[in-house]
Amino acid sequence: MKLVPALLFETVKEKYKDVSENTPMIGTYARWEYGKHPTDESLRAYLDNGEMYFLEDQGKIAGMVAVVMHQDEDYASVSWSERLADDQVATLHMLAVCPEYQGRGLGGIILEEAEALAKRNGKQAVRLDTLACNLPAQRMYEKSGYSYRGKQYRYAENTGWMDFFFYEKEIVRRE
């Protein structure tokens, strides 16, 4: 399995709609509702910026993630393990495993592939956030070597005001 750039909007949209509509407990954990999160606009922005990737399994799409080769200013107030310039960090967004592939550990493979991509692009750390109620994602991140770095009360279109947890993984050891 490998991470490859996603190219076609309709394919990306179809896959995220499938995840949003057919993942058990998604309303409890991730609170995804296509049109609120993710949206056509957010998917197009990731595609236009070359930041959307698919996890391919023998030519089929098994999962997807947006890998952004910087961090936005809204991550600046988090208590990260080390203060890094925004361009020294990759951030992951909208990690999802297609329903027919769920339960096989592919989320961890997506993380590994995204980390390798970030490392090839000279990044020193990978950072991400998740809802405080998304226990399966938190377990996956921690199992994959990510460290919890704190929580913040934030607004999102699909959730309203909620606590978000922040995680990071150092991918380049500094001496």
Residue located via tokens 């919890």: 148
Q: CB atoms < 10 A from the CB of 8, how many?
A: 9
Tens-binned pLDDT, residue by residue, of the chain (175 aa): 999 999 999 999 999 999 999 999 999 999 999 999 999 999 999 999 999 999 999 999 999 999 999 999 989 999 999 999 999 999 999 999 999 999 999 999 999 999 999 999 999 999 999 999 999 999 999 999 999 999 999 998 888 999 999 999 999 865 5
Sequence-distant (6+) residues with CB within 8 A of 43 are: 9, 12, 13, 16, 52
Q: What is the pTM of this model?
A: 0.95
Rounded to 5°, the CA angle 86-90-96 comes to: 140
Q: What is the CATH number of domain 2-170?
A: 3.40.630.30
Domain ranges of the chain: 2-170
